Amino acid sequence: MDGKTLRKGERYYKSGRVLWVIKHGDRLFSKILGTYPYYVELDLKTGENRCTCPLGGDCKHVAAVMKAYENGFYFETFEEQAELFPEATAMEFLSEVPDLALDVTLKELRFALTTDESGSEVARLFRRALKLVALTGRKEALHVLEEVAGEYEHIFKDYKLSLKLEDELRELEASL
């Protein structure tokens, strides 16, 4: 991988675009927010890698995962299903650390607001964020959810769902 790609990957890592990294044996699995969400697999022994971006590998997304790993930003598992279902494995780890799960969910939520044409993913992540705010009691996250709800309503004006999400947010605010 050339120096320019490595530097771009480092910037991706430092800007928080690497949502999670799972280490299973000598392999890493990760989700990165690029133009779209991309998934990376990296063999630490051989350096072989794959990415779901248009380049298919040896890209800034792989470099970002390498930088995350070097900085200790990963969960290690010995469960075989991690190779088949790395995202489920990551969610299992995140469920044990609700504050981190909320941070990851808010990043995904903001990102989905710019890429989700149907609004379905935004709604799913919004509801997860509501549950995590209730669980963690992190009131400072409410302003992010208010902004997202307002933008969602603006983009999807004719969706009854936008009103339901607003109501769910108000209920949470009242309960905290």
pLDDT at 132: 98
Residues 21, 31: Cα–Cα separation, whole Å: 7
Instruction: Give per-residue pLDDT as tens, 66-87.
Output: 999 999 999 999 999 999 999 9
Q: Say how many domains are in the chain.
A: 2
pLDDT at 157: 87
71 assigned to some structural domain: yes
91 assigned to some structural domain: no
Helix axes 98-115, 142-155, angle to 10 degrees: 20
Query: What range defines the domain where residue 102 resides?
Result: 98-175
Q: Are residues 78 and 103 in the same domain?
A: no
DSSP letters, 124-167, are: HHHHHHHHHHHHH--GGGHHHHHHHHHHHHHHTTT-HHHHHHHH
Instruction: Give per-residue pLDDT as tens, 100-157.
Output: 999 999 999 999 999 999 999 999 999 999 999 999 999 999 999 999 999 999 999 8
Dihedral sign for Cα 135, 110, 154, 162, please. negative
Could you say which of 56, 82, 108 is where a domain stops? 82
